[in-house]
């Protein structure tokens, strides 16, 4: 395999001063009443709106791609045999099974983050409620990560049923309060369908039926994809060169019919692909790279995309149109008889990355020195600093429960379009 091009990306250049009081600790009473900053790189203009105005602000010919993952009540407080408390955060089934499928069983094994003292293999943790309970047998533990066999109590129930009574919403660490009943609804998009995330695709939290109805009336088509968000999304950059950061892998699921429609839309040059959130951006761009790799390396099945692959010369030096890459992926699905594409991706979008399909994104305002801020900077360029300064100057609320932005890149951004 050829050596990847490793860019020099100074982590310290992708920071800004975020006053703690600007981090939203609660959602607004009405989802679509949040602020919406529109930054259009085609005209280099910034304007301020309310989110319910979004349908009228999208470029003509836009279609949306959104992530329909559903957040699990993945945070469990359990007890050790000694009586001490332990916190478990479910990440994903350890055998690669789809989360919803694993939770439909009475017993399955999960990778978890674990918080507590003197946790060792063989220990059995218990969590109980009036409706039953969960037992968690520790199979392996390494620092804050563990492999845990979860069992529903009674075994005639499912893990999903017990999580409804015992699990809590896994709010991000910068929301410094305990979850409430309100969070069960508000830390979830109204269109969430497929369970599997431990963090919400927060750009989608602003959507309401009012906004969706207006989009429909305006003829804006919406494509649904799934990326299950993992806890790595909150992991800060620790390397001076951000390119040395190890990107977390996340599971994506996209129906063949969606990929086929995406291929048709990107072939229409006047169309704008607008992704709802960074997770949708990473999903759509990953589809491109999976297809491009099939063209360059037909013998490598599209099961996992490493963070290095989009920077390999053998891919970078080829000019592969988006529709050709998607055709290759569709052909592979047809040859294998699959109606849905399932894989994992470590796609790491750094400044210097060139978007292959995405023309714009709707996204919240992200933490300093985070992979999400790097993605924004890659997409919109150094102008991100002006955009964030403008948001701070106009009292925007930041992070998961904060306000939103609509970022439109120059049309030359999406390659081979």
Give the C-alpha separation, 115 to 95, whole Å.
22
Query: What does the block give as tokens for 249?
Result: 């892998």
Residues 120, 142 contacting (CB under 8 angstroms): no
Per the structure, how many domains does the chain have? Answer: 2
1 within some domain? no
pLDDT along the chain (417 residues), means of 10: 68 94 97 98 96 97 97 92 90 88 93 88 90 92 90 92 89 92 95 93 98 98 96 80 90 97 95 97 98 95 95 88 97 97 96 94 96 96 96 98 96 50
User: Could you tell me if 48 and 83 lie in one domain?
Assistant: no
User: Could you tell me if 82 and 153 lie in one domain?
Assistant: yes
191 within some domain? no
User: Could you tell me if 49 and 106 lie in one domain?
Assistant: no
Residues 120, 156 contacting (CB under 8 angstroms): no
User: Could you tell me if 222 and 337 lie in one domain?
Assistant: yes
CATH at 294: 3.40.1780.10
Q: Does residue 158 have a cis peptide bond before it, meaning omega lies within 30 degrees of 0?
A: no
The label of the residue with tokens 């761009």 reads 285
250-255/69-71 β-pairing:
unpaired
Instruction: Choose one of 125, 150, 167: the last residue of a domain.
Output: 167
Residues 315, 354 contacting (CB under 8 angstroms): no
Count the neighbouring beta carbons within 10 Å of the beta carbon of residue 150. 26
User: Could you tell me if 232 and 290 lie in one domain?
Assistant: yes
User: Could you tell me if 201 and 331 lie in one domain?
Assistant: yes
First to last CA, the chain: 28
pLDDT value of residue 50: 98
User: Could you tell me if 239 and 300 lie in one domain?
Assistant: yes
User: Could you tell me if 58 and 100 lie in one domain?
Assistant: no
Query: What does the block give as tokens for 222?
Result: 């919406």
Give the C-alpha separation, 151 to 140, whole Å.
16
135 within some domain? yes
pLDDT value of residue 343: 96
| Bridge partners, 345 (sequence order) | 250, 305
pLDDT value of residue 416: 43
What's the domain range around 401? 11-70+197-408
175 within some domain? no
Residue 101's H or E segment, with its range, is helix 99-103
pTM exceeds 0.85? yes
pLDDT value of residue 269: 86
The label of the residue with tokens 């999976």 reads 290
pLDDT tens for 299-341 read 999 999 999 999 988 888 888 999 999 999 999 999 999 999 9
189 within some domain? no
User: Could you tell me if 120 and 246 lie in one domain?
Assistant: no
Q: Taken in order 401, 89, 283, 369, is the CA torsion positive or negative?
A: positive
The label of the residue with tokens 């009943």 reads 181
- What is the DSSP-derived secondary structure letter of residue 168? B
pLDDT value of residue 3: 59
Query: What does the block give as tokens for 278?
Result: 């960074």
pLDDT value of residue 348: 96
Three-class secondary structure of residue 40 per DSSP: strand
Count the neighbouring beta carbons within 10 Å of the beta carbon of residue 18. 17
User: Could you tell me if 66 and 97 lie in one domain?
Assistant: no
Query: What does the block give as tokens for 48?
Result: 């301020």
User: Could you tell me if 237 and 350 lie in one domain?
Assistant: yes
pLDDT tens for 184-237 read 999 999 999 999 998 999 999 999 999 999 999 999 999 999 999 988 777 778
Instruction: Choose one of 167, 184, 219: the last residue of a domain.
Output: 167
52 within some domain? yes
Whole-Å CA distances, 293 to 66, 201, 296, 344, 385: 24, 27, 5, 14, 34
């Amino acid at each position: 395999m050829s050596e990847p091009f490793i860019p020099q990306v100074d982590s310290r250049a992708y920071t800004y001063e975020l006053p703690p009081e600007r981090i939203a600790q609660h959602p607004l009473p009405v989802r679509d009443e949040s602020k919406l900053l529109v930054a259009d790189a085609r005209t280099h203009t910034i304007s301020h709106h309310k989110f319910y105005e979004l349908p009228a602000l999208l470029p003509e010919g836009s279609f949306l791609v959104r992530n329909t993952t559903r957040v699990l009540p993945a945070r469990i407080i359990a007890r050790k045999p000694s009586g001490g408390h332990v916190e478990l955060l479910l990440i994903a089934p350890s055998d690669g099974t789809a989360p919803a499928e694993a939770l439909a069983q009475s017993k399955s094994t999960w990778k978890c983050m674990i918080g507590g003292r003197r946790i060792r293999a063989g220990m059995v943790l218990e969590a109980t409620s009036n409706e039953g309970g969960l037992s968690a047998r520790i199979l392996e533990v390494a620092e804050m990560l563990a492999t845990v066999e979860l069992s529903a109590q009674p075994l005639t129930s499912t893990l999903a049923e017990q999580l409804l009574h015992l699990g809590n919403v896994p709010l991000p660490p910068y929301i410094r309060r305990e979850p409430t009943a309100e969070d069960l609804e508000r830390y979830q998009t109204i269109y969430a369908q497929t369970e599997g995330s431990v963090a919400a695709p927060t750009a989608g939290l602003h959507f309401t039926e009012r906004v969706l109805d207006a989009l429909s009336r305006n003829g804006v088509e919406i494509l649904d994809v799934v990326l299950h968000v993992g806890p790595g999304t909150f992991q800060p950059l620790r390397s001076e060169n951000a390119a040395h950061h190890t990107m977390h892998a996340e599971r994506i699921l996209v129906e063949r019919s969606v990929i086929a429609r995406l291929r048709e839309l990107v072939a229409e040059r006047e169309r704008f692909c607008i992704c709802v959130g960074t997770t949708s951006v990473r999903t759509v761009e990953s589809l491109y790279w999976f297809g491009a790799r099939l063209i360059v390396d037909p013998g490598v099945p599209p099961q996992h995309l490493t963070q290095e692959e989009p920077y390999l010369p053998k891919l970078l030096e080829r000019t592969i149109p988006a529709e050709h890459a998607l055709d290759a992926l569709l052909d592979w699905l047809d040859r294998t008889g699959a109606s849905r594409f399932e894989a994992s991706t470590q796609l790491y979008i750094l400044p210097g990355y060139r978007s292959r399909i995405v023309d714009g994104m709707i996204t919240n305002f992200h933490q300093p020195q985070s992979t999400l801020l790097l993605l924004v900077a890659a997409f919109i360029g150094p102008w991100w600093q002006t955009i964030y300064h403008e948001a701070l100057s106009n009292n925007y609320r930041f992070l998961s429960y904060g306000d939103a932005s609509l970022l439109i890149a120059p049309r030359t951004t999406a390659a081979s379009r």
